[in-house]
Amino acid sequence: MLVNSSIALVEDWATHEVPLTRSAEDYSPKTQICFPYRGVFIWHVGGQDIVGDANQILFVPSGEAFRLTQLQRDGCGELIVTPRPDVVAELVGNVERPCVHPLFRRRSRRADPMVQRASAHFRQMVRAGELDELAADELLLELVVSALQGRHGDEGLHPGTRRLVDRAKTFLAANWNSTVRLKEIAFAVGASAAYLTDAFRRAEGVPLHGYVVQLRLARALVDIPHSTDLTELALGLGFSSHSHFTAAFRKSFGCTPSDFRQSTRKAIAHYKTVAASPIETF
């Protein structure tokens, strides 16, 4: 557990080096919003197979049975936010039936870069152990609101096309730091390159290349605060050079990787200083 406040319960769920098997059936007794940040898994729920990767936000109505299938041996991780009932009631409009909200019917949507950055920032600040409850609640509420305000997805997309796109997302998430070609992806999912390109853009709002770049950048948000060599990190993430990585990062998040690393470390240092300062009395 990371946070247990009047806004939400927040858990950092992670698996490491586990067999690639489907989990036992489980269910969430409460409404949740999940922000995957590492790895890829399939969420089997309500007759659907939802891809969980760092480019997605997952919306979990209460009481639905589900299973998870992990797709990478090195594990995966996600930030699980369980908002308090009054927060759900205000933001969704119906605490008893949050599934009336389009995103809970859709069960997932693509995470835009600002949501990815906000999720990473919140997780890093709380992990530092120095974020007070007020600051944590404010950051958390901003994250939940931004998740609910996104595009509602592709309700008009044919189910067969949706499954095709999900197979492509699974392939990309499993090969995010490798060089992949359009023909390879099309062959892996069983479609022509032209059809896949069109269907993916309609479903996700970005081209295939843009999706895999965003997966790499999402991983960068996790790794940058702990990295001492950004060039080595860039190459490990699948970028051709430090300058290519920096340009892509700045375009998505509005700052350079070094700026993000510095701001994260400064924020952690600031909260440590504030926590250690004596309280003035008058």
Domains and CATH numbers, the chain: 3-148 (2.60.120.810), 159-273 (1.10.10.60)
Site of tokens 């089997």:
44
> Residue 134's closest CA among 264, 8, 9, 5?
5
275 pLDDT band, cuts 50/70/90, is: very low
The DSSP 8-state label assigned to residue 99 in this structure reads G
68: three-class secondary structure by DSSP: strand
282 pLDDT band, cuts 50/70/90, is: very low
Q: State residue 14's pLDDT score.
A: 86
CA distance 229 to 232: 5
Strand partners for 4: 9
217 pLDDT band, cuts 50/70/90, is: very high
Chain centre distance of CA 13:
12
pLDDT (average), residues 144-165: 80
pTM here is 0.88
Q: What is the pLDDT of residues 181-204, one digit of tens each?
A: 999 999 999 999 999 999 999 999
Q: State residue 17's pLDDT score.
A: 60
Q: What is the pLDDT of residues 88-141, one digit of tens each?
A: 888 876 555 655 678 888 899 999 999 999 999 899 888 877 678 888 899 999
